[in-house]
């Protein structure tokens, strides 16, 4: 657990002023965002532990949230998404408490979260206007597509990482097993929250730029956490079988390779791309 928190701290704060390249006056904003991200990781650990009374699941979920591409990208820039995610987790954490006053604080925080989001995406204003239903549904499925989930997330176009999906493509088995597990255990609240996020993201006025979809990160971490636990238990039960042991080890190596590849991309290629885009923006506009 301590290792995960240290990793979360390091990945959020290392070279924060330099990567991604930006103006020096945004540094404080970045620190705030990184701190929100770090606190989200710590709190999601305790939230899952409290909800399911399972340390392994909590550990998997928080470690996945630490390493998710969208989480790293959003936590290292000045981002309202990081703050909103923290508000959701704190609100939910308080809401499930037995004490009434904590429940009320939790609900108030979730209302603040909704107001905060609405300030950013003007959801209510758009809901009251005429909406093209076909376009809305198409946007919804586009955001839920495997392409955006696992391979190319272009919802955050300028300054974001477009070469990676919201989660690593190496985590596809964990994702599907996780969805199956959540449905099997009737934990629909996370899936419903995910669908709500997808719904209002598909209303984004700047679509296909729809950064609201990054609010999915805690849900994705929970889905992947469930998937990881199931697969981990599967391999643990069959650890005497040499074939499954090798298979498990190979899969861990593949995951490690994927994460390493992302960090290489983030710290080497991404900065270079953002710098080039900045130059292009300055010259063009």
Partner 1 sequence: MGVVAQGFFCSTEGIIQHIFQSLLADITNDVGVSFIIIRFLHNKLIYGLILSFRCYLQFFDPYVFAVTTTSFIVPLIYMGLFKLAKNKFFLLVILLFPLFIILLLRRIIPDFYPILKIYYILIALYGLLTFLAIRINR
Q: How far apart are CA 80 and CA 214, in angstroms?
A: 10
Give min distance, CB of 88 to partner 1, in A. Answer: 24
Hey, what are 45's tokens?
């650990």
DSSP characters over 33-94: HHHHHHHHHHHHHHHHHHHH--HHHHHHHHHHHHH-HHHHHHHTSS-HHHHHHHHHHHHHHH
First to last CA, the chain: 47
Give min distance, CB of 85 to partner 1, in A. Answer: 24
Q: Residue 73 or 94: which CB sits closer to partner 1?
A: 73
Scan for tokens 């701290």, then name that residue: 9
Q: Residue 6 or 260: which CB sits closer to partner 1?
A: 260
Contact footprint for partner 1 (CB under 8 A): 134, 137-138, 140-142, 144-147, 150-152, 154, 162-163, 169, 172, 257, 260-261, 264, 268-269, 272-273
- Is the four-CA dihedral 17, 19, 25, 31 of positive or negative sign? negative
Give min distance, CB of 188 to partner 1, in A. Answer: 15
Q: Residue 108 or 135: which CB sits closer to partner 1?
A: 135
Cβ(42)–Cβ(8) under 8 Å?
yes
Q: Residue 100 or 134: which CB sits closer to partner 1?
A: 134
Q: Residue 144 or 255: which CB sits closer to partner 1?
A: 144
Q: Residue 141 or 280: which CB sits closer to partner 1?
A: 141
Q: Residue 60 or 164: which CB sits closer to partner 1?
A: 164
Give min distance, CB of 260 to partner 1, in A. Answer: 7
Give min distance, CB of 138 to partner 1, in A. Answer: 6
Give min distance, CB of 273 to partner 1, in A. Answer: 8
Cβ(12)–Cβ(75) under 8 Å?
yes
Scan for tokens 């298979």, then name that residue: 247
- Is the four-CA dihedral 102, 121, 73, 172 of positive or negative sign? positive
Give the single-character DSSP code of 213: G
Q: How far apart are CA 44 and CA 225, in angstroms?
A: 11
Give min distance, CB of 86 to partner 1, in A. Answer: 29
């Amino acid at each position: 657990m301590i290792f995960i928190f240290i990793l979360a701290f390091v990945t959020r704060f290392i070279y924060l002023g330099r990567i991604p390249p930006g103006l020096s006056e945004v540094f404080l904003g970045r620190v705030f965002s990184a701190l929100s991200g770090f606190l989200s990781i710590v709190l999601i650990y305790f939230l899952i532990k409290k909800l399911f009374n399972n340390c392994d699941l909590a550990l998997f979920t928080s470690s996945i949230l630490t390493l998710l591409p969208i989480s790293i990208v959003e936590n290292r820039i000045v981002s309202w998404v990081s703050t909103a995610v923290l508000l959701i987790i704190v609100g939910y954490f308080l809401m499930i408490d037995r004490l009434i006053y904590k429940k009320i604080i939790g609900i108030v925080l979730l209302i603040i979260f909704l107001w905060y989001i609405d300030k950013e995406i003007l959801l209510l204003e758009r809901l009251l206007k005429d909406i093209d239903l076909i376009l809305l549904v198409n946007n919804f499925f586009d955001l839920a597509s495997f392409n955006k989930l696992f391979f190319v997330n272009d919802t955050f176009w300028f300054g974001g990482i477009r070469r990676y999906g919201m989660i690593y493509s190496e985590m596809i088995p964990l994702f599907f097993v996780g969805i199956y597990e959540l449905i099997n255990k009737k934990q629909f609240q996370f899936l419903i929250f995910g669908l709500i996020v997808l719904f209002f993201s598909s209303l984004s006025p700047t679509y296909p730029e729809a950064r609201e979809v990054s609010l999915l990160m805690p849900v994705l971490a929970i889905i992947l956490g469930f998937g990881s636990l199931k697969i981990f238990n599967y391999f643990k039960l069959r650890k005497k079988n040499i074939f499954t042991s090798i298979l498990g080890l190979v899969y861990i190596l593949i995951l490690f390779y994927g994460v390493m590849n992302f960090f290489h991309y983030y710290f080497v290629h991404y900065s270079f791309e953002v710098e080039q885009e900045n130059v292009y923006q300055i010259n063009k506009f």
